[in-house]
Amino acid sequence: EDHTWEVESITTQRQRGNEVQFLVTWKGFDDKHSTWEPKKNLAGAAETVKAFEVAYAKHMEESNKEAPEKHEVAVAAQKIKVA
């Protein structure tokens, strides 16, 4: 059964082993339902991921920190299908 979920925003990222994961807020769901997703799970939201990566890199350069506590990027919602 396929489900369609909309990415509302990506708020931060983390490294887990060799994989970068993004904290995704889903449209229509509270923040408590946000999930950590690897990039491969967000193929249908590639523009959103790219916008976050660009803004995150800029934030890191400007803040001179190892990792910001939270970095929010305004993004347009995109639908992705998950199995």
Interatomic CA distance for residues 36 and 38, integer angstroms: 7
pLDDT in the model for residue 2:
65
- The whole-angstrom separation of Cα 57 and Cα 63 is 10
Q: Give residue-wise pLDDT tens across range 32-44.
A: 999 999 999 998 8
Task: Give me the percent of the chain exceeding a pLDDT of 70.
Answer: 73
Per-residue pLDDT reduced to its tens digit, 14-25: 999 999 999 999
Q: Could you tell me the pTM of the whole model?
A: 0.72
